[in-house]
């Protein structure tokens, strides 16, 4: 029976996913030597960590992102890296919409006024009908967000350099050039992976391109945003609000300016953490690990395809 190393404790309610199929070890590093595969959470799997697993054949991520895995080092060691791009789609899209609604409607400030016994303040909430929702990246999660945005009466535009030109503009979005995404949107939601090319794609230049009063939502990766530039834009009022489920680092230290900023709402990387979504993350990651060990690799990261 294959041995699966979990780098965080496998919750009891998910034990049925491996019963009779694999032996479970971890998260103590001493267990790595006997593992055939790793089911990886957010731990960093660099060359040094990978080298501790002398029998490792697979690293299977419980999520769509795999920037925590050194794919080059894994490939050199003969290890297949898998990921679970479909598992967090529903939950992450719903959390994106929740943050979008919370920041555009000023719910944080409204709650603070209510707690202080104050009446409603100025009418600053953004009415979404007729506004433009810009999506950086147009994969599964972004397309679900686009559908909800369109139901609000928003115009949807998107930029995705990985989408072939022959694909045209998939409904309900109109594909636009990179610069146009920033200049035309009233709300921008990030749905891109963390790569050297996308690191700090939200920066002084792109923030300056936005219309004054634009909102930003990020449920993708913290590395996409230059947080110093973001804070400056929030302080000046150029950016009306930001909803962030991911930051750099994670978690932010207590007292960080973003945690206390009146125009920001930060959640601790919980977008995929519905009960159903969390189970799917483990279910898909375990399936990909066992299938690959059995000689039928599935959901292998693009770099190894």
List active site positions: 221, 250, 269
Q: How many helices (H) and strands (E) does the chain have?
A: 10, 12
- Give bridge partners of residue 219 from the DSSP assignment: none
Instruction: Name the token pair of 90.
Output: 């529903």
Q: DSSP character for 226?
A: -
Q: Is 195 left (phi over 0), alpha (psi -120 to 50) or beta?
A: beta
Alpha-carbon Rg for the chain, nearest whole angstrom, is 21
Cβ atoms of 78 and 99 within 8 Å: the answer is no
Between CA 95 and CA 219 the distance in angstroms is 8
Between CA 161 and CA 50 the distance in angstroms is 31
Between CA 11 and CA 62 the distance in angstroms is 13
Is omega for the bond preceding 248 within 30 degrees of 0, making it cis?
no
- Give bridge partners of residue 158 from the DSSP assignment: 135, 175
Q: How far apart are the first and last CA of the chain?
A: 27
């Amino acid at each position: 029976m294959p041995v699966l190393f979990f780098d965080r404790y496998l919750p009891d309610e998910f034990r049925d996913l491996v019963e009779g199929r694999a032996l479970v070890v971890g998260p103590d590093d001493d267990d790595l030597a006997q593992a055939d595969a790793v089911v990886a959470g957010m731990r960093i799997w660099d060359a040094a960590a990978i080298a501790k697993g002398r029998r490792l054949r697979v690293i299977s991520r419980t999520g769509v992102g795999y920037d925590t895995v050194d794919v080059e080092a894994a490939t050199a060691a003969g290890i297949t890296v898998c990921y679970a791009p479909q598992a967090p789609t529903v939950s992450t899209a719903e959390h994106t919409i929740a943050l979008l609604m919370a920041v555009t409607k000023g719910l944080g400030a409204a709650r603070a006024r209510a707690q202080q016994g104050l009446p409603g303040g100025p009418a600053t909430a953004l009415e979404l009908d007729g506004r433009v929702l810009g999506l950086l990246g147009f994969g599964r999660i972004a397309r679900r967000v686009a559908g909800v945005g369109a139901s609000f009466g928003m115009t949807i535009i998107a930029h995705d350099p990985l989408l072939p030109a022959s694909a045209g503009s998939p409904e309900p979005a109109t594909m636009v050039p990179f610069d146009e995404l920033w200049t035309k949107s009233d709300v921008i939601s990030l749905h891109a992976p963390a790569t050297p090319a996308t690191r700090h794609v939200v920066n002084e230049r792109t923030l300056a391109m936005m219309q004054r009063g634009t909102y930003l939502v990020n449920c993708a990766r913290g590395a996409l945003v230059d947080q110093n530039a973001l804070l400056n834009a929030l302080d000046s009022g150029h950016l009306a609000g930001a909803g962030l489920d991911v930051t750099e680092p994670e978690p932010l230290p207590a007292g960080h300016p973003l945690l206390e900023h009146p125009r920001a709402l930060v959640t601790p990387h919980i977008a995929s953490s519905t009960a159903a979504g969390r189970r799917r993350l483990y279910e898909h990651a375990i399936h990909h690990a066992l299938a690959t060990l059995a000689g039928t690799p599935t959901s292998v990261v693009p770099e190894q395809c």
